[in-house]
């Protein structure tokens, strides 16, 4: 009987070690195993060698996007909320980022500028892009060197101001910090360059180009830098007044070789329609069949109109929203799916509240054939565990319980 138990013990021990070893291997090579078994879509993986990378960072009900450009420059678009600033800083520090070459604030809302102080305090920023939304706040007096435009531009025929002024503390603090930001190069401290966002601005970075298509420039005005020599020097142009702070959000195209991404901040459908009317046929081609579209206003139904979606026809739609948010709106999701079906296209919708940090990788060795991958972490810093890994864990635990009765009592009492 003892000999029989010894054989069972040997068998169970062998099974236990095999299962444990298999579990460890599955955790290490989980991506490859799941792709082989068809448990996740092809392409949901990391790309070790990449030339161009875009991270949509999970900052809750807010927005922040990090672009790693082919020339090794970094661009950060928006800084999330006040409550997400620690997560945002940790994300950038994990990637060993010390200098941000371009920092873009799409508009004044706190869910896009909330982490500005944390970013400007922890990283050196070379160039900053701000909207032509002026800041005026008693806590930060004279924080905005462009505030003189409120008086200079005056009012329209209905007596309404031709500029938008925000009096909130958060935006004023953001603008105040922007004009105090410095960076060090060749042991010399320099003030960060500040640009006002408008149609026509672009950044060329190797095989990538970032272009701003909105808001329109106000005609009849000289460049801003000619007016701000004695205050906070600012570059760019005065833009037309928009109906809301959301509508100052720039429409941004981000291209890498033949890959194109489109970001619209919180711009509404009326902006999208006005923008479409400005495009000529050649410009429309640039937007067709985009790789990624970041859903306007966090997937709100007030953005992403049918005409705009029909033009860009994205392969992926990324929605940046929080766990308790009402976004994305069901009508927007239905509209996107209907347009895909109508045009015999297939698309993927990814949300930061479900998929966590979402990263797109691209690489090309010959400037023609592009290798790509998309990877996401799962919800907010959680450990992504597959159902089959849980099953293996249960089997290992059961194996332990089977082993205990087979171990002689003398050995267990030692």
Domain positions in the chain:
40-269+353-380
Rounded to 5 degrees, what are φ and ψ at 197? -75, 135
**Tokens 């033009």 found at:** 311
Asked whether residue 213 carries a pLDDT value surpassing 60, the answer given is yes
Asked whether residue 178 carries a pLDDT value surpassing 80, the answer given is yes
Closest CA to 194 of 125, 137, 142: 125
Residue 376: pLDDT band with limits 50, 70, 90: confident
Helix (H) or strand (E) holding 412: helix 409-413
Asked whether residue 44 carries a pLDDT value surpassing 70, the answer given is no
Over residues 35-46, mean pLDDT: 50
Please report, in angstroms and rounded to a whole number, the separation of the first and last CA atoms in the chain: 22
Q: How many CA atoms lie within 13 A of 19 on its CB side?
A: 19
Give the global pTM. Answer: 0.82
Residue 377: pLDDT band with limits 50, 70, 90: confident
Over residues 7-29, mean pLDDT: 68
Over residues 64-87, mean pLDDT: 97
Residue-averaged pLDDT of the chain: 87
Q: Would you state the pLDDT for residue 388?
A: 54
Residue 49: pLDDT band with limits 50, 70, 90: confident
Q: Would you state the pLDDT for residue 345?
A: 92
Alpha carbon distances (Å) from 116 to 125, 178, 358, 366: 11, 9, 21, 38
Cα torsion angle, 310, 339, 52, 63, sign: positive
Q: Would you state the pLDDT for residue 34?
A: 54
Torsion (CA) 192, 195, 196, 200 in degrees, nearest 10: -160
Residues sharing a CB contact under 8 Å with residue 319, sequence separation 6 or more, in sequence order: 294, 295, 298, 299, 327, 328, 349, 350, 351, 352
Extended strands (E) in 297-384:
316-319, 348-351, 358-363, 371-376
Choosing among 3.90.25, 1.10.10, 3.60.15, 3.30.1130, the CATH entry for 40-269+353-380 is: 3.60.15
Beta bridge pairs of residue 293: 262, 317
């Amino acid at each position: 009987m003892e000999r029989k138990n010894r054989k069972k013990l040997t068998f169970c021990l062998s099974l236990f070690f095999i299962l444990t070893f298999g579990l460890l291997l599955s955790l290490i090579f989980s991506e490859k195993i799941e792709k082989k078994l068809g448990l996740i879509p092809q392409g949901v993986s990391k790309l070790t060698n990449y030339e161009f990378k875009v991270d949509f960072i999970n900052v809750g009900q807010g927005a922040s996007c990090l672009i790693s450009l082919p020339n090794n420059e970094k661009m950060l678009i928006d800084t999330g909320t006040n409550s997400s600033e620690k997560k945002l800083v940790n994300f950038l520090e994990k990637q060993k980022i010390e200098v941000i070459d371009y920092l873009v604030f799409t508009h004044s809302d706190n869910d896009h500028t909330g982490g500005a102080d944390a970013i400007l305090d922890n990283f050196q920023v070379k160039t900053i892009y701000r909207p032509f939304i002026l800041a005026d706040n008693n806590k930060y007096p004279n924080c905005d060197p462009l505030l003189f435009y409120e008086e200079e531009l005056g009012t329209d025929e209905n007596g309404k101001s031709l500029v938008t002024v925000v009096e909130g503390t958060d935006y004023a603090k953001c603008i105040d910090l922007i004009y105090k930001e410095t960076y060090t190069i060749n042991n010399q401290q320099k003030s960060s360059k500040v640009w006002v966002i408008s149609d026509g601005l672009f950044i060329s970075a190797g095989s990538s180009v970032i272009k701003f298509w909105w808001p329109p420039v106000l005609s009849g005005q000289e460049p801003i830098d000619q007016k701000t020599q004695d205050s906070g020097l600012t570059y760019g142009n005065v833009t037309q007044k928009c109906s809301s702070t959301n509508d100052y959000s720039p429409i941004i195209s981000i291209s890498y070789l033949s890959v194109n991404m489109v970001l619209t901040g919180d711009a509404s459908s009326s902006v999208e329609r006005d923008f479409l009317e400005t495009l000529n046929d050649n410009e429309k081609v640039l937007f067709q069949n985009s790789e990624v579209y970041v859903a306007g206003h966090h997937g709100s139904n007030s953005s992403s109109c049918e005409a705009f979606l029909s033009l860009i026809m994205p392969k992926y739609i990324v929605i940046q929203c929080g766990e308790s948010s009402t976004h994305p709106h069901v009508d927007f999701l239905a509209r996107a799916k209907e347009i895909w079906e109508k045009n015999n296209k297939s698309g993927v919708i990814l949300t930061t509240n479900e998929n966590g940090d979402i990263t797109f990788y691209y690489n090309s060795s010959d400037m023609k054939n592009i290798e790509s991958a998309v990877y996401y972490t799962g919800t907010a810093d959680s450990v992504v565990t597959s159902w089959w890994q849980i099953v293996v864990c249960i089997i290992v635990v059961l194996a332990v319980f089977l082993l205990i009765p087979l171990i002689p009592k003398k050995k267990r009492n030692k």
